[in-house]
Each structure stands twice: as C-alpha cells, then as structure tokens.
Structure 1
Amino acid sequence: MSPANCRLKHVFDIEVLFGADRAIFGPLPGGGSQGYTPAIGGTISGPRLSGIVVPHSGADYALVRDDGTIELSAHYLLEADDGTKIYIQNRGYLIRAAPGEAKPSYFRLTPYFRVPAGPHDWLSRTVIVGGGERLTDPDRSLFRYYALV
C-alpha cells in the first residue's frame, strides 16, 4: 500500500455525561465567549478499548466564536477495564447548521492521548479522528473514534 493511501478503522466509542454546572462568560477581548462543561462520567466501548470516563476528572473548555463555531478543548481521564488510566485531550470543532438548513451540525475532533507503557500504549502512537453528536436527557455526547491506518 502506498503511504498516501489511508483508511479508517473503528477503534472505540465514548459516551461522556455532562454535569449541570455549566458556565459561559464573555465577550472575550478577542471576540467570542469561554465555555465550561464538566464531564461527570461515561463509558467506553469498542473493539480496541473499553472502560469508563473517570467521574469528575475534567471538562470541556470550549471557545464559542462570534461566527457560531465552537472550538472544543476537552480534557479528562479514561480508565480501561484493566485499570489503566489514560489522559485524553479532545480538540475539534462543532459547527451548527443554520436555522432551517437540512444539513446536520458538523462535529469532528482529533484526540490526543497520554498512556503508560503497556497494552494501551498504541493510543500514543496512532493517529485517531472522531465524530460526535450532542444529545439531551441525559445531557451527553457520543463520540466514535477511528484509527487512520
């Protein structure tokens, strides 16, 4: 296979539950507003990783830009079923469809991981991309992650 040929392989899904202690403040000097949404728990499932989102281990510190784009910057801890702690930083974009448009919101991200040596250290040397959707009742986001192979 040529190095320019890439494909995606599903590796895991994460459901992140959010708390009610949300905050948004601004406007900021450069424009936009700063958001804070705490991650209160969640689950990980899939062919390469399963476990939990460690409760109250982080939050999404999103920048809400004046053009309506939301720059996601979420940091929290995962715990694999074998007890391994994994740091994740999710960076990406949420662009909401304009009112009346048929197209869905664009919700894409690129996670970065820190993980100890062992069975899950493949996360620290694999390019992973994901897509997500925001749901309510309960307030949560669902993410599906793919390894670029």
Structure 2
Amino acid sequence: MQDPFAPTFEFALEIRLKFRPLPKVKDMPSGGDRGMVVLEGGEFEGPLLSGIALPGSGGDFCLFRPDGVLAGDARYLLQEKDGSVFMLQTRAYIWGRGPEVMAKFERIAHGLSKEQILPEEVYFRTMTTFEAPLGKHDWLARHAFIGVGRRTETGNIIRYYKVL
C-alpha cells in the first residue's frame, strides 16, 4: 500500500553560486570552527524562472562540527529576469562518505585545489525557503524546497526540488 503522506518532489531550479571565502574562527569552545563565504554572484534557471544571484547580498556561515559535518546557514538575494527580488534562506548538511572527502572539500573551497568531488562521495543536502513578493512568483514562498548540491572551484551548484 502506498503511503499517502510520502512526499513527492518537482524540479524547481538550479543555481550556480560564486563565493569568496573569509578566514575561519578556529578552535571555538564548542569544538568546531566557524567559516564564512561571501556571495560574489551567480545565476539560476528553472522551468518557471531565471535570473542572477545578487553579488554582495549575503553568504553562508558554515559551522565545521567536530563530527566532520559542515552545517551551513545561508541567506542571499536572487533577482529574476523580470526584476523581482527573492530572499533565499537555507540550512545545509554536508559530510563526506570517506575520510578524505571533507579535507578535499575545504581545499577546493579555498582555491587550493582543482580536485573533483563526485556526487556519491559527499552528502550535500539543503532545506530551503524563499521570501518572495505577491504575484507570479509567490509560489516560492508557499513551498518547502530540498536541494542537492556539489562544490566547485568557485562555489556551489545546487538543484532545488519543490516539496509538493
């Protein structure tokens, strides 16, 4: 029997972000490190909208936990081609499926390596919401979104799926 409460998903958009890393707050009393990346720009595209990530409009405050998990907390603004502006807010969990993956992730993030991380090597998931103006894009503010991402030399690529 099919579970009537099982969620279903619909592709909403893919975003390609460019970040500039800042120095970390290291060895915090909690046992982790705090990092931050500033949004330098990017673009997004999906079946119902496309546009740019507004440079300097936010970034991602990452907690590097002692258990090897990177817990992201990001906010930034997106502008659709029609001029509409949205705010994206996301929480992310990123962890490697092998002992070297997160070290590789960090080298890539700081521009120290051009290594590739394969999707099966890393768990990179986001829980995302949007603030959007009333009108043709207000569907963004009425749904939850799950993202699946990967790290590149310059930032992140994340595919967002609307939870139906």
TM-score (norm 2): 0.82
Aligned position for 2:162: 147
* Aligned partners of 2:130 and 2:140 also within 8 Å: yes
Residues 95 and 2 from structure 1, CA distance in 2 versus in 1: closer, same or farther, beyond 3 angstroms? Answer: closer
**Offset at 1:92?**
1.3
Unaligned runs of 5+ in 1: none
Q: Which amino acid aligns with 2:148?
A: G
Aligned position for 1:129: 146
Aligned position for 1:18: 19
Aligned position for 2:136: 119
Distance in 2 (CA, whole Å) between partners of 1:30 and 1:58 is 25
Aligned position for 2:122: 105
Show structure 1 runs of 4+ deviating over 3 A.
99-103
Unaligned runs of 5+ in 2: 102-117
Distance in 2 (CA, whole Å) between partners of 1:100 and 1:88 is 31
Aligned position for 1:29: 29
- Give the percent of matched residue pairs that are identical in Structure 1 and Structure 2: 34
| 3-state SS in 1 of match to 2:24 | strand
Aligned position for 1:70: 70
| 3-state SS in 2 of match to 1:91 | strand
Q: CA RMSD in A?
A: 1.9
1:50-93 CA distance string (max 9 Å, x none)? 11000111111010101110001011100011111101111110
| 3-state SS in 1 of match to 2:121 | coil
TM-score (norm 1): 0.90
Distance in 1 (CA, whole Å) between partners of 2:59 and 2:76 is 6
Q: Which amino acid aligns with 1:142?
A: I
Higher percent of residues as helix: 2
